[in-house]
Structure 1
Amino acid sequence: MLEILEASGALSSRELSLKSRMPERTIRYALRILKEKGFVEEIYLLGDTRKRRYKLKAARDALCFV
């Protein structure tokens, strides 16, 4: 999943699910863990705050959590 985000930039959980061919529930669970560990950040869309996109944090920020 990290490789997909690295190659594609910010994506929704649905888009990640389609690209990885994994169930969306599994993607959301993994995103929650990656977000807690500081590898991924969640972006709320201004037009609709119910929709979120996820992107990799900057490498130097993520290294602080390893």
Structure 2
Amino acid sequence: MSSNSFDELPCSAKLVYKILEFYGPMTFSQLRNQTKLPTSTLRQALRVLKENGMINAGICLEDIRSRIYSLTECIELAKDV
């Protein structure tokens, strides 16, 4: 991820990204509780991050009705270099 693409993200998307970076994978409700963002704003932030390839959404094994969001591996690996 280039710093320019991150800088161009909405503030809500940056917040969600940083929360996932700090805490690791989370469900939608966990993100909502952690960020305190309104539901529609959080959905928009997740959509923007997914469209930019910055996060993945998978099925939560504890509750298959929920999705779990995490940073994409390529971004996590790039930070380690």
TM category (shorter chain) comes to: 0.7 to 0.9
Identity of aligned residues (%): 35
Q: Please list every run of 5 or more consecutive structure 2 residues that lacks an aligned counterpart in the other structure.
A: 1-15
Output the CA distance in 2 between the equivalents of 1:27 and 1:11.
13
Which of the pair is proportionally richer in helix?
2
The alignment's C-alpha RMSD in Å is 2.1
- Pairing partner for 1:24 from 24, 29, 39: 39
Supply the AA of the counterpart residue of 2:32. Answer: S
Highest CA radius of gyration, 1 or 2?
2
How many residues are aligned here? 62
Residue of structure 1 in register with 2:30 after alignment:
15
Q: Please list every run of 5 or more consecutive structure 1 residues that lacks an aligned counterpart in the other structure.
A: none
> What is the TM-score when the length of structure 2 is the normalising length?
0.64
- Pairing partner for 1:55 from 53, 70, 77: 70
Cα gap change, 1:61/1:25 in structure 2, threshold over 3 Å: closer, same or farther? Answer: farther
